[in-house]
Structure formats: structure tokens, C-alpha cells
Structure 1
Amino acid sequence: MDGDEGFEEFYRSTRHRVVTVLYALGGDLSEAQDAAQEAYVRAWQRWSTISAYDDAEAWVRTVGHRLLINRWRKIRNGLSAYRRHGPDPATGPPSENTVALVTALRRLPAEQRQAIVLHHLADLSVADIAVQTGTPTGTVKARLARGRKTLATLLGTSFPEEVSHA
């Protein structure tokens, strides 16, 4: 089994068994699928070596099982820390203003919402947003302007003219 074709065939012919075994070991199908996926990624990265093993499927099962065990350990350690430190202090419900803002943000197109959040909540400059999103600065400025105008209408308020963060 050499090359990518060999791996693809190996994957197709073994994935169901591997997920089934990991599911039986862990009792959680989505965790089993995640662990199997990660194990297959690792196998693919080392395929030139693993393809020569007598039982490459056993290698994938073993790696998947170890991944499950590591996840259980993390959960167990998290529970231990929770028991030691107790629950986080109670936080109250969000304010009416917060609920109104989140509701209004959800109504914006995704690109405008992203620009508004990155600029006003993450305090990024227009240039930083342009770099992060791979968008021209003029487009970011337009999205901010349109987003602010729509938010003002949705919230029944007005925003002051843009304070430059360029």
C-alpha cells in the first residue's frame, strides 16, 4: 500500500470498524468519530512507515484509544479542579441593552457584523480588520458604515460619527 491511493483504500476499508471499536470503548459516538479522525490524520502523515506495518489498522485503533483516554483525563482533571475551586461566582442575566444589541447584531449581514464586532468590541483598527479578513480597507469602512446605520435603525438610536482607529 504505497502512495495516497493506498491510504484512501485503507481508510475506506477500515474506518467503520475503527469508529465502532472506539465507540464501544468510550461510549460516545461523536468522541469516537473525533478520535478516529485524529488517528487517521496521524496515520496519513506517517503513511510511508505505517503502510509497511503488519496491521496498520491496529496502529490507528491504538492511537484513537489513546486519544480517547487523554480526553477522559482532561475531563477528569477539569472536574477535579471544579470540585477544588467550586463553581464560578454566579453571574446575573444579561441586561436588556445587551439582549437588544445581540439581537440587532444577529440581524446584520455576517460581513457587517464581523466588522462591527472586531472594530468596536475587539478594538481593532480598520487596517487590522482588513488584514485579518483579507478584505480591502475601503470595503471594511463601507461595512462599518452600513452596519452602524442598520444598528442605529434597529436599536432606535444614532451613533456618533466614526472615531478613527485607522
Structure 2
Amino acid sequence: MGIQEHRDLQDTFLRLFEPQRSALWRFVRSMVRTDHEAEDMMSETVLQAYQSIHKLRDEQAFVSFLFTIAHRLVKRHRWRRTFFGQYDEQAAHEIPHTDAQPDVQMDIVLLRQALQRLPERTREAVVLFDILGLSLEEIKVIQGGTLSGVKSRLVRGRRSLATMLGVDQHQEEPALSTIPRVHNQPIL
């Protein structure tokens, strides 16, 4: 490959990758336990995508191409962790570094913990659709299977998350007798 062809591929890759960088980070971070693991997965995904960009026939398929690579790497990472184990005390005490308010940070921690308890394919579908905004069709390409399978995983995942997070999807206004009171006055 000539120098100009290499530069053209590099420019194409960067043009396609930059709009997806943030979404890819959020996806990878949601699928692993620590920021350190997410950084490793992100780096490996970018490297593999860059090395394989010449195989991409249609630029419209780049999102599926990129997230499929990330999906496979996360899957392989989990498989290795199962056999080789891993415990990092520093990561266990790590607090996510975001600019969000403390209550929002806690919500994020609780959501991540709840997401980790979902089956892998269900968690992946929920993250790709509800957090990253990918289409059902793109998720089907990334995960394989059928469109109805993706929809089923989304419904099951949302219901499970609602249950785990204590959210009643059909909440009604509380009866007056159930509202907490102090000196016979409602405190809400």
C-alpha cells in the first residue's frame, strides 16, 4: 500500500470514527467493571477497527462494524476473566470521575450495578438502544439473531432494571392515608 493510500484510509477512519467515539466509550464502559478495563477495550477496538478498515465496503455500515468489534472483544475479555480471574483492589474502591452532581453519580453507579446483573445480551441490547440510541436493525447486526429477539431482550431488560431499581412502571398517585405525616401534616 502506498503512502497516499495509507493516508486516505487513515483520513477515512478518523472521519468515520470521531462521531462514534463517545458512544463507543459509553458502550464499552457499560459492558465492563472498571474504567481501566474500558480503556483497554476501547484501545483494542480502535486498533482492530483501524487495521480492518480496508475490509469495510460501505461507510454506512461503520457503526455496526465498530460495535461488532467492541462486542466481540468484550465477550473475549469476559471469557478470559472467567478462566483467569481478576481482582484489583484499587478498582474496587474506584469512584467514577465525572462532572455529574453527587446524586446523579449515585444514580449512575446504581444503574451500572443493575446493568451488570442483567444477562450479557440483554444488557448489551439495552445499552445500545436506550443509552447509545442505535437502531433496532443496527443492534440486530451487532448481536446477530432476529429483530423480534432484540425487541424481546429490550423489553425484558427494561422490566428487570425497573424491578432492580425499585421503579414501578405503572405508579399511581399514593392514597392520602399512605403519605408520610408529621404532626398530622403531609411531609411530601
TM-score if structure 1 supplies the norm length? 0.41
TM-score if structure 2 supplies the norm length? 0.37
Identify the structure with bigger relative contact order (alpha carbons < 8 Å, sequence gap 6+): 2
Over alpha carbons, which structure has the higher Rg? 1
